[in-house]
Amino acid sequence: MSGDLPLNINIKEPRWDQGTFMGRAQHFFMVTDPRNVLLSSEVLEDARVTVENYRLGIVKPGLTEDELWRAKYIYDSAFHPDTGEKMLLVGRMSAQVPMNMTITGCMLTFYRTTPAVVFWQWVNQSFNAIVNYTNRSGDAAITMNQLGAAYVSATTGAVVTALGLKSLAKHLPPIMGRFVPFAAVAAANCINIPFMRQRELKCGIPVTDAEGKRLGESSKAAQQAIVQVVVSRIGMAVPAMAIPPVIMNALEKKAFMKVRNHKQNNFKRLSESV
């Protein structure tokens, strides 16, 4: 049974034109909308039913096009595109903003001591492993051994890079120490993502034609996709992890910051003496 809403709306594709910057921006604002993290299981299930029924030609009476698109983006935010399974909460794209803001802020703030560096790099790589596992290709199952190897390798790589650069930064201008978290994140991404998606490199990922018909699997397409993911992950970290160190280094040279730091140091020495 079909309602008043036409059945020719292509909800497999984004709502906005991906050939323009504004179209891509609108699409990704919807995909990463952090409010979707707060949606209840009932709302998610209702969106799933709406989307899957529409694909079968069944339209809920009174459903509008805006409501259909809203359901589509809610569905995309919580369910795996290949398997249809509900994804882990912190691994969803809608969780990226709050999770990354918190972890990045802590990595940039607590970088001076070795225990803090180790702890926050471990937290970051644990989060990255969850995201990579949650958003893996549904056609390439990953074993727990592969998952564990990727997680341990990425965490070790991040911690070794961070501690090595931290030690090296002692002999360099102070600003270089602020870039240690960014360098560690970049190094870990180069390890974590290929490891986590190694089965895709071996077995390939699905390739379809313009009409969505599956043509087969391609390892070369998987290689290109993983390289793009690594580069984009590092690029996404630049605004939050490479720009603030420059700004903070400039601010610390200002008089009001010197006075504040002087008071903090005096308070610290007083506390230690007590």
Mean pLDDT of 20-34: 89
Q: Does the predicted TM-score (pTM) go above 0.75?
A: no
pLDDT number for residue 142: 65
- Tell me: pLDDT of 206 over 70: yes
pLDDT digits (tens, 9 = 90+) for 90-133: 888 889 889 988 998 888 888 778 888 889 888 988 887 788 77
pLDDT number for residue 197: 75
pLDDT number for residue 261: 53
pLDDT number for residue 104: 86
**Cα separation, 34 vs 36, whole angstroms:** 5
Mean pLDDT of the chain: 81
Pairing of strands 214-218, 205-208: antiparallel
CB-count burial class (<10 Å; 0-12, 13-18, 19+) for 146: middle
pLDDT number for residue 141: 61
**Residue of higher predicted confidence among 43 and 250:** 43
- Tell me: pLDDT of 2 over 60: no
pLDDT digits (tens, 9 = 90+) for 34-54: 999 898 999 999 999 999 899
**Residue of higher predicted confidence among 169 and 17:** 17
* Closest C-alpha to 154, from 230, 87, 222: 230
What Å distances lie between residue 101 and 37, 74, 105, 173, 190, CA to CA?
Answer: 15, 22, 6, 27, 21
pLDDT digits (tens, 9 = 90+) for 55-84: 888 888 888 889 999 999 999 888 888 778
pLDDT number for residue 114: 83
**Cα separation, 9 vs 66, whole angstroms:** 11
pLDDT digits (tens, 9 = 90+) for 126-176: 887 788 778 776 655 666 777 777 778 878 877 887 788 778 777 777 777
Mean pLDDT of 237-246: 82
Under the banding of pLDDT at 50, 70 and 90, the label for residue 85 is: confident
pLDDT digits (tens, 9 = 90+) for 180-197: 788 888 887 887 778 777
pLDDT number for residue 137: 63
Mean pLDDT of 229-247: 84
Q: Which residue has the tokens 């702890």?
A: 119
